[in-house]
């Protein structure tokens, strides 16, 4: 495990860079993680991140299909907001564990 500093906060991360304590997450932390991923966050990004954090807090499984049905964003827009590996990037920026469905 490693420690990274985002927005002046020391945060423990796993080998893939996912936060180990999601309680240390903030919009400022998310913004800095997103910069590392080459993403500049907008209000729409934060809507998606809030949705993801709520789903995870409720113990729900995250999938792209579920995000598509969320009413927050459709799959095409989700891929545009988080290009490359959208679910992996979005969960990392949201400060939650990588979904088991992601390789």
CA 73 from centre of chain: 14
d(C-alpha 20, C-alpha 81), whole Å = 24
State the helix-helix crossing angle for 43-57 and 86-94, rounded to 10 degrees: 80
Spatial neighbors of 23 by CB under 8 A, at least 6 apart, are none
d(C-alpha 3, C-alpha 84), whole Å = 25
| Catalytic member of 20, 85, 97, 102 | 102
Known active-site residue 65? no
Which positions are catalytic? 102
């Amino acid at each position: 495990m490693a420690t990274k500093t985002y927005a002046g906060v020391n945060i423990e991360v796993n080998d893939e860079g996912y936060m180990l304590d999601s309680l240390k997450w903030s919009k400022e932390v998310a913004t800095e993680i997103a910069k590392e991923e080459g993403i500049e966050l907008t209000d729409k990004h934060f809507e998606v991140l809030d949705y993801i954090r709520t789903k995870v807090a409720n113990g729900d499984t995250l999938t792209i299909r579920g995000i598509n049905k969320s009413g927050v964003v459709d799959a095409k827009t989700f891929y545009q907001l988080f290009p490359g590996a959208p679910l992996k990037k979005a969960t990392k920026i949201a400060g939650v564990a990588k979904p088991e469905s992601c390789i």
